[in-house]
Amino acid sequence: MSPLLQMRGIVRRFGDLCANDNIDLDVQPGEILGLLGENGSGKSTLMKVLFGMLRADSGSIAFKGKLLDGHTPAEAMAAGIAMIHQHFMLIDAMTVTENVMLGWPEAGRVLRTKEISSRVREASKRFGLYLDPDAQVGALPLGRRQRVEILKAILRNAELLILDEPTSNLAPAEVADLLVILRRLRAERKGIVFITHKLPEVLDVCDNVVVLRLGRVVGRAPVAGASRGQLAEMMIGRDVSAPREVDAAKPPGQARLALRDFSAPGLLPLTFEVRAGEILGVAGVDGNGQFELVESLSGLLPARGGVLELDGRDITRSTVAARMNLGLAYMPADRGQKALVKGMSIAENVMLRDSRRPPYARGPLLTPARAAAKTRALMADYDIRARGPDSIVARLSGGNQQKIVVARELDRGPAVLIAHQAAWGLDPGATRFVLDRMIALRDRGAAIVYVSSELEEVLAISDRVAVMAGGGFAGVMPRSALDMRQIGLWMAGRAA
């Protein structure tokens, strides 16, 4: 059987960096190929080369036996390749049908809206996508928007679908639906490249896997028979998937963060304490009040009622600055928007909170040389890979950006840390790193609230696990008495 796609010896450099170093890749019809690798391993570059968004420095691409060379995305699409980007290429203000028609010659110069709309409805039924052709895309949940992209590919008769980290923005139930859809596409003999760094999904849905590291192929294997540990080892060179034994916390100290009937808009009254040397993990499906919890604890959302105490002091109505001065640190989920000023340098971002104090300032003037020295030390300590303190944050990978936030917040030696999706979008190595740093902070006597929709992360780090559902805590259990069944029930919204 001749392969659907044959990439040979692909090389692509960005300056000194060789993002793709002589990569070969084959995809057969009816195959789901997992393309695995850490952030910055060259997966996205390779796929952009395939799709014609980047040009390869050398190498060849054959699709259905025909050479593709110097092609544009439009030509790649015409040939039968569809790319589903991590950030959807959709127009929120338009309907599903309009999005399908955009750039599609078959829709006609004068648009045949009715005809396309009925084709949308048919294909949606056939592949179980449940899409209303007239729905406005911006009003759809993320999982549905992704299906609009899949629908576009199907209607354009794409034979190869490239999905770039398709699950990174989805809720667990949406991920399950997506995998079902992918299997249906496989049954129709489509080739699929599934880019990810999440191992369970690879094991679940892929036929074969290719692992990239630092721009090279470091492993190829059929998924049947491969174990999670092996894949992880190929990916980052060591096995990090085994749950690390968290040292049993020392007997926790006094309460550092205390809530009594504390409530906020979207948050039911909560009463709990987090003690010195303790990590309270908060699990749950996204959108069940986690955002309201972290934002009201950090002071960005006003409290509605109850009392919030930090080391015994009432901070229910305190400003964000006052909370910070008392030792509260906050790592928001949306780091690009809330934690970092992406257009500024690493040093400037590091000094963002404490720019009035030494070593960043003396009197009214900033002290750039000292700030740079301090930043350099943090970069070494937290393994932030960039040219120097002057590097612009926007140019760094997501993992390195998050490490800046971690470095800044942890370096302040907070009494209480509120972390929301702290490992979001990070590969396993970087995730481990962030979790280890938090455990170290805990061991120095801080109280940590670790909120994440990744249950595995929460279980790996927490001394106690709380589950949020419907704006409140469905239940809390200590690490020593974990009951996965009960946690599942709580997450599904059933009270204890």
| Partner residues linked to 82 by β-bridges | 161
Q: Which residues bind other proteins (CB under 8 A)?
A: 72-74, 77-78, 83, 85, 87-94, 98, 101-105, 107-111, 113
| Distance (Å, whole) CA 232 – CA 242 | 10
Residue placing its CB nearer to other proteins in the complex, 109 or 485? 109
Residue placing its CB nearer to other proteins in the complex, 74 or 492? 74
Residue placing its CB nearer to other proteins in the complex, 72 or 271? 72
Q: How far is the CB of 93 from other proteins (least distance, A)?
A: 5
- Please report which residue ranges of 210-305 form alpha helices under DSSP H: 228-236, 290-298
Q: How far is the CB of 87 from other proteins (least distance, A)?
A: 8
Residue placing its CB nearer to other proteins in the complex, 104 or 272? 104
| Partner residues linked to 61 by β-bridges | 7, 68
| Distance (Å, whole) CA 434 – CA 335 | 14
Q: Name residues whose C-beta falls within 8 Å of residue 99's C-beta, 6 or more positions apart in sequence.
A: 90, 91, 137, 148, 152
Residue placing its CB nearer to other proteins in the complex, 98 or 177? 98
- How many Cβ atoms from other residues are within 10 Å of residue 36's Cβ? 28
Q: How far is the CB of 54 from other proteins (least distance, A)?
A: 8
| Distance (Å, whole) CA 161 – CA 32 | 9
> Shortest CA distance to 158 belongs to which of 122, 113, 202, 123?
123
Written as one string, the DSSP assignment of 319-378 is -HHHHHHTTEEEE-S-IIIII--TTSBHHHHHTTTTTTSTTTEETTEE-HHHHHHHHHHH
Residue placing its CB nearer to other proteins in the complex, 75 or 233? 75
- Please report which residue ranges of 168-272 form alpha helices under DSSP H: 172-187, 199-205, 228-236
Q: How far is the CB of 140 from other proteins (least distance, A)?
A: 15
Token code pair at residue 212: 């990239």
Residue placing its CB nearer to other proteins in the complex, 145 or 432? 145
Q: How far is the CB of 109 from other proteins (least distance, A)?
A: 5
Q: How far is the CB of 74 from other proteins (least distance, A)?
A: 3
| Distance (Å, whole) CA 395 – CA 401 | 9
Q: How far is the CB of 108 from other proteins (least distance, A)?
A: 7
